[in-house]
Amino acid sequence: MKKIFLLLLASALFSACMEKAERNCSDFKNGSFEYTYMDNGVEKTSTFTRNGDLEIDYYDDKIDTITIKWINECEYIARSKHPKSLSEKDAFHFKILSTTENSYTFEYGKVVKNKKNDYVKFRGTAYKTN
């Protein structure tokens, strides 16, 4: 009995000491951002400007207008406003996982499951530039 009590106490203390990720998501609903990603083994940087429900993305010498539908304070659905192909019609679910003063870490993936019936997720960090 004493071992169980000590185990529960240690578990409670450990949980209390763990720091929860800060999420001030409203700080990142608007602004200009930079994001570095890998594309076929090549590191690339894109920039984007978001203002509430509209985002303008700049990548690979292209510009894309994205509509944003906020689900809650830290999650939104992004969809190309003027898709030029079937793949550009896909919607993406973004979730802000943690924030700092000038960046946020996020997870994203297609809203629709892939052929294996899985939701494939990716992670990244965006840095506020203004």
pLDDT band at 113 (very low <50, low <70, confident <90, very high): low
Q: Give the tokens for residue 68.
A: 């944003």
pLDDT on residue 76:
97
Rounded average pLDDT over 27-44: 93
Q: Mention every residue, 6+ apart, whose C-beta is less than 8 A from residue 126.
A: 28, 33, 34, 35, 48, 103, 104, 106
pLDDT digits (tens, 9 = 90+) for 48-91: 999 989 999 999 999 999 999 999 999 999 999 998 888 788 89
pLDDT average, residue stretch 25-51: 94
pLDDT for the residue 8: 41
Please report, rounded to a whole number, the percentage of residues in the chain having pLDDT higher than 90: 59
Question: Is residue 24 scored above 50 in pLDDT?
Answer: yes
The string of DSSP codes covering 61-80 is TEEEEEEEEEEETTEEEEEE
In whole angstroms, give the CA distance from residue 36 to residue 97: 17
Residue with tokens 């990548």: 59
Q: What is the pTM of this model?
A: 0.77
**Which domains does the chain show, CATH number per domain?**
20-128 (2.40.128.490)
